[in-house]
Structure 1
């Protein structure tokens, strides 16, 4: 496994991270590893949009939708 070093972390940021780690009952290293791992697993917005475009394609036109609405109203 590779080690990562982050330089020039402001004191206030480090203090806030230490508090969050302690509140979650984990060491700072475990807390940061979880944070980085979750971020790495989160898909990019552009990837999510591309998947959405692929999976939500429909051949139904606006005219088809309006016709179905009109048909439903006529049956009332």
Structure 2
């Protein structure tokens, strides 16, 4: 596993993170590892768009859609 160092963290930010870690019953390192792990699991917008593109492909043409609309109107 690799260690990550974050430099120049403002004191108020560090204090807030320490407080949140303590409230969660975790060390600062464990708390930050959880944050980074959750963030890494969130797909990017580009990944979400690619998935949407893959999962929503269809072979329905405009004429198929118009025919279905006409069919629905005729059934009224």
TM-score interval (norm. to shorter): 0.7 to 0.9
TM-score of the superposed pair, with normalisation by structure 1: 0.80
Report the equivalent of 1:43.
43
**Any residues of structure 2 matched to 1:1-76 within 5 Å, and which?**
1-76=1-76
TM-score of the superposed pair, with normalisation by structure 2: 0.80
RMSD of equivalent CA atoms: 1.7
d(CA) in 2 for partners of 1:2 and 1:46? 27
5+ residue gaps, structure 2, are none
Task: Decide which moves more: 59-68 or 45-54.
Answer: 59-68
Task: Decide which moves more: 27-36 or 57-66.
Answer: 57-66
**Residues 66, 24 of structure 1: CA spacing in aligned structure 2 closer, same or farther, 3 A cutoff?**
farther
Count of aligned residue pairs for this structure pair: 76
